[in-house]
Amino acid sequence: MTLVPRLPAPGAPPFRAVAAVLVAYAVAMAFLESAVVVYLQRALGIDPRALFPVRDPVATGDLALIEAGREAATLVMLAAVGWLAGRSGLERLAWTAVAFGTWDILYYAWLWAFIGWPPSLDAWDLLFLIPVPWAGPVWAPVAVSLALVGFGLAAARQQRAGRPVRAGRAQVAAGIAGGLIVVLAFCWNAPVVLDGGVPTAFPWPVFAVGMALAAWGATTAILERRPRER
C-alpha cells in the first residue's frame, strides 16, 4: 500500500515551521496540564509519591469519571492539532504522534520541575483510566513517546516533501499488533490496581516485543523508497 502525500501547495508552511509551532503547542499544553494536576493534588490532599493504592471510586464520588473525561479531552485536543497541521491522513496521524509524544514527555518534565516528581524513571504512574487502569514505570510511556516523536517527525517530513510512504500488509500488521501488545503491557496490572493493590512488576518483555514490532513496521515503511513490483 502506497500512501502518496499531496504535493506542497504554494505558500504552504515548511516542515520546520509546522514542527516548531506544533511542538510549542505541546510544550504549553504539557505545562498547563501538569499545573492542573498539581492544583488538584494539593486541593484533594493527594501525595504524588503515593498514587497506589488507587482511591476507592465510591469515596471519591465523580472524580474518577471526571478524570476519565479529562483524559479523553486531552486526546481530542492533541488529535485536533495534528489534524490541523497535516494535509493528508498519514501526515495528520504523524503530527498527532509528535504532539502526543512531546506532550507526554514534557508533562513529566514539568511535574518534576514543579514538585520533584517523578523522583526517577523507575517511579510507577497511573497512566490512563480508559477503558481500564493503565500502570507502569515512567520510563515505559517515555520510551513510547520518544518513538512517537521520532517516527512521527520522519513520516511528516517525508510527506511534507512530497515523497510517498509505502506500507505493505506486513508493516501495517506489525504496527497494529505492536501497539496492541504495548497497551496490553500497560494494562497488565489492571486487576491489581482495581483490587486496591500496588503494582510491583512491569511485564517489560511483553512491552519490548510490542515496541520492536511497531518500530520495525514504521522503520521499513518510512525507508522503503522503491516502487513495489506487482
In whole angstroms, give the CA distance from residue 63 to residue 119: 26
Residue 120: left (phi > 0), alpha (psi -120 to 50), or beta? beta
Tens of pLDDT, residue by residue over 178-189, are 999 999 999 999
The strand pairing partners of 134, in sequence order, are: 128
- The predicted structure's pLDDT at residue 195: 87
Name the more confident of 13 and 207.
207
- Calculate the CA 202 to chain-centre distance: 18
User: For the chain, where are the alpha helices, taking DSSP H only?
Assistant: 15-44, 63-85, 89-115, 139-160, 169-187, 190-194, 204-223
In whole angstroms, give the CA distance from residue 64 to residue 21: 33
Whole-prediction pTM: 0.86
Single-letter residue type at 56: D
Q: Which grid coordinates belong to 194?
A: 482495581
The strand pairing partners of 137, in sequence order, are: 124
Tens of pLDDT, residue by residue over 47-86, are 777 776 676 554 455 677 888 888 899 999 999 999 999 9
Average pLDDT over residues 82-107: 94
Q: In terms of DSSP bridges, do strands 124-128 and 134-137 run parallel, antiparallel, or are they unpaired? A: antiparallel
